[in-house]
Structure 1
Amino acid sequence: MDTVIAFIVIFGALVFFHELGHFIFAKRAGILCREFAIGMGPKILAFKRNETQYTIRLLPIGGYVRMAGEDPEMVELKPGFRVGLLFNEDQTIQKMVVNNKDRYPDLRIVEVAEADIERELFIKGYEEGEEELKTYKIAKDAVFVEDGVESQIAPWDRQFNSKKLSQRALAIVAGPMMNFVLAFVIFALLGMLQGLSLDEPELGQLLDDGAAMEAGLREGDRIQEIDGQTIGKWTDATTIIQQHPNEEIQMTIERNGEIMTIAVTPRLQEEEEGINRGVIGVYAPVEKLSPLKAISYGAEQTYLWIKTILELLGQLVTGQFTIDALAGPVGIYKTTEVVAESGIYYLMRWGALLSINLGIMNLLPLPALDGGRLLFFGVEALRGKPLDRQKEGMVHFVGFALLMLLMIVVTWNDIQRFFLQ
């Protein structure tokens, strides 16, 4: 259960901040955001605030912000169409009821002769029993009502494609950038809360059930020698300890100016590929960072891991490792299970790495990803006009289908790796 909670929290945080980047900059550009979704598939939870519906969906494979104009608008008023109209105090249309009109006794039923619900915002038509053609203005925040469900109209100036290229690009790139910001914040918090590991021959925090605690060692003890070998740094100590699983070693330490020798028996820790090592249940010494140093540490770690992941991607492209090395949701869940057992700080670091990975993956110039959309924006900038929307949509659809196929392959590899071997 702890693993499930940890996975949900990490996944939710990564997707939330990614989509929050899209959402904030889309709203700043004046784009109508119809839905802010965490997850895919059927809705689990939904509520509406102002003009946006917020949903949590069943499948933990992403999320999205549905912006007006990205998809065809849901309702089109064609000549001959009969629609019920409700007006506000300014006598402009506030609601257009498509069906179940008997639920609204104050409706004016109009047969549409002409309508523009995007740019000019009007309906021309004939009221029941009248032959005079009338023109009705539509409010910019008017809604359609179909089967009792309200859907706000999207005037052209509230649609995604009406905005400047720079505004659209910023709304798209803000998602991955927010993932990098999240990783930076997590690393900075780790610097302040956990501290920075030091390569000093001094004992840090001891595990309550570890061999070091049982032998009588204490946090702050400074290691002088192990089995007669002089210890100058933390890695010297760990190297010797790891070489003696289930074998007693003599540790000479300094405590409050007093030199003493304590016998410790490192416990056996089995690792993958048959590698065994000794551990005594103690962490390296740490230095708690000041806020200023923590900010610097957060930036440094974020840059380091961005660089590392890009290098690994380069190895994937050049064939230095294969698709079998990739992990999908199952692999991430199993890794989260292992990391969660090591404590909250390790879980935070894992979350930061996943956030960076999500940001980089989304910036790849592949259809259906943010990077693919930015690539189309680049082509638009060079051509001086946008590409055909239908053709672009088809490319993204095919790209999405291929990504789903890749997800299935990677997930199947995860299942074989963790459950069928």
Structure 2
Amino acid sequence: MDVSSFFAMIWDSALIKIVPFLFVLTVIVFFHELGHFLVGRLCGIRVLAFSVGFGPELVGFNDSHGTRWKFCAIPLGGYVKFLGDENVASTPDRAAVEKMDDAERSMAFPAKSVGRRAATVAAGPIANFILAIAIFAGVAYFNGRVVGDPVVAEVRAESPAAEAGVLAGDRIVALDGNPVAYFSDILEYVSTRADVPIAVEVERAGGRVTLQVTPRTVTQTDGFGNEIKGPLMGLVATRESAAFRTEKLSALQSIRYGAEQTWFFTHHTASFIGGIFTGNQGAEQIGGPIRIAGISSQVATLGFSAILILAAQLSISIGLLNLVPIPMLDGGHLLFYAFEALRGRPLSEKVQEVGFRIGIVLVLSLMLFAVWNDITWLT
């Protein structure tokens, strides 16, 4: 292989990994910041800049309201900067606001009521959830929904289901009293219930039997060779037993399905985050940009719909992460506003400054930890 062919191979490999990653991240960041932007404008706040990415500006333009829209060189996030913000983290510049005339001050973010500020901040994560609903609904509407009957073709040996007495040929009709329509309902219900006993009602030989099954966390390998930890009962369905098929959904059914999937992944992600703090989940599963880029390139091989679904799942994760009450994140701002609403006045600038510094340390520590996990994942 000559030198030009070698560099061409490297370039092609980089594009395969980077392009899906940039697409997914740009869509998520754009909609998150668009939530802040639209509600901020609705609340009468002047927007100085809308940026996808950080660092030097690559391309941009000014709209008729004086907002600078731009793409920047480091595509790992974005921001909306309002009038009265000291920096892109929306730290209030109260000294600058005091020097403004009445007309300017009326459009400054720090001068708005706590309700309007809270609504503007919360709009970013909410936009992430709305984006997820729209993606799940759109993919389901155009592609249909693949479903299969909850009929067991095989029970893994020495699995929780085998130990509880579940048999091949059983039809799962309810879990803890909740009706089961499709095999995917079983997977979704079990996914957040590691080591939690589940009352499994099965239909067998014309009658019904209720069995207690306690899912165990196991490590599996997906189709790309990635290790995934999660709770399983040990049930297997085949195309023949479950009669897998594609169901077409109406527009209304698709929206409902999108909302259900968004709630499921929100609950699943929140349970995972909680599990890390309780020790039920391994922190090594936290991934950063390198792992997201790798997974994006893998998922892209499955088609455009698959990369959209990944974008929806990551949008939910970013929405939840931003709601964590750490200063510098949206949740931290909302925490400060909650104290302000209770006290009737903002926290002192010194307290907020200390809070933001702690927030920066925590966020940077999380980023470094995620990158370290990424490096470990690569090796």
Q: 2:186 — aligned with what?
A: none
Q: Which residue of the other structure, out of 181, 184, 196, is the alignment partner of 2:133? A: 184
Checking the alignment, whether the CA contact within 8 Å between 1:38 and 1:62 is kept in structure 2 is: yes
In the alignment, residue 157 of structure 1 is paired with which amino acid?
S
Counterparts of residues 324-363 of structure 1 (less than 5 Å): 324-363=284-323
Q: 1:63 — aligned with what?
A: 78
In the alignment, residue 118 of structure 1 is paired with which amino acid?
M
Find the aligned partners of 1:270 and 1:66 in 2 and give their Cα distance.
40
Counterparts of residues 101-116 of structure 1 (less than 5 Å): none
Checking the alignment, whether the CA contact within 8 Å between 2:20 and 2:300 is kept in structure 1 is: yes
* Residues 324 and 272 (structure 1), Cα distance of their counterparts in 2 relative to 1, 3 Å cut: closer
Q: 1:172 — aligned with what?
A: 121
Deviations 1:366-412 (A, max 9, x none): 11110010000010011111112343134213312331232122112
Q: Does 1:320 align with 2:320?
A: no
Checking the alignment, whether the CA contact within 8 Å between 2:20 and 2:293 is kept in structure 1 is: no
Q: 1:214 — aligned with what?
A: none
Q: Which residue of the other structure, out of 132, 157, 169, is the alignment partner of 2:106? A: 157
Deviations 1:73-115 (A, max 9, x none): 6998xxxxxxxxxxxxxxxxxxxxxxxxxxxxxxxxxxxxxxx
Find the aligned partners of 1:61 and 1:317 in 2 and give their Cα distance.
26
Find the aligned partners of 2:361 and 2:48 in 1 and give their Cα distance.
24
Checking the alignment, whether the CA contact within 8 Å between 1:118 and 1:156 is kept in structure 2 is: yes
Q: 1:240 — aligned with what?
A: none
Q: Which has the higher contact order (CA 8 A, sep 6+)?
A: 2
Q: Does 1:26 align with 2:8?
A: no
Find the aligned partners of 1:164 and 1:232 in 2 and give their Cα distance.
56
In the alignment, residue 100 of structure 2 is paired with which amino acid?
E
**What TM-score comes out, normalization by structure 2 length?**
0.68
Deviations 1:43-95 (A, max 9, x none): 2222212311111112222111111112176998xxxxxxxxxxxxxxxxxxx
SS at match of 1:162: coil
Checking the alignment, whether the CA contact within 8 Å between 1:7 and 1:336 is kept in structure 2 is: yes
Greater share of strand residues, 1 or 2? 1
* Residues 394 and 46 (structure 1), Cα distance of their counterparts in 2 relative to 1, 3 Å cut: farther
Checking the alignment, whether the CA contact within 8 Å between 2:49 and 2:67 is kept in structure 1 is: yes
Find the aligned partners of 1:388 and 1:303 in 2 and give their Cα distance.
37
Q: Does 1:119 align with 2:101?
A: yes
Find the aligned partners of 2:122 and 2:93 in 1 and give their Cα distance.
24
After TM superposition, give the deviation of residue 354 of structure 1 in Å: 0.3
Q: 1:193 — aligned with what?
A: 142
After TM superposition, give the deviation of residue 118 of structure 1 in Å: 1.0
Q: 1:105 — aligned with what?
A: none
Flag structure 2 segments of 5+ consecutive residues without an equivalent: 1-14, 87-91, 151-167, 173-181, 184-222, 228-235
SS at match of 1:160: coil
Counterparts of residues 10-409 of structure 1 (less than 5 Å): 10-50=24-64, 51-71=66-86, 118-119=100-101, 155-199=104-148, 271=225, 284-409=244-369
Checking the alignment, whether the CA contact within 8 Å between 1:323 and 1:410 is kept in structure 2 is: no
After TM superposition, give the deviation of residue 305 of structure 1 in Å: 1.0
Greater share of helix residues, 1 or 2? 2
**What TM-score comes out, normalization by structure 1 length?**
0.61
Percentage of pairs with the same residue:
33
Larger radius of gyration: 1
Aligned length: 281
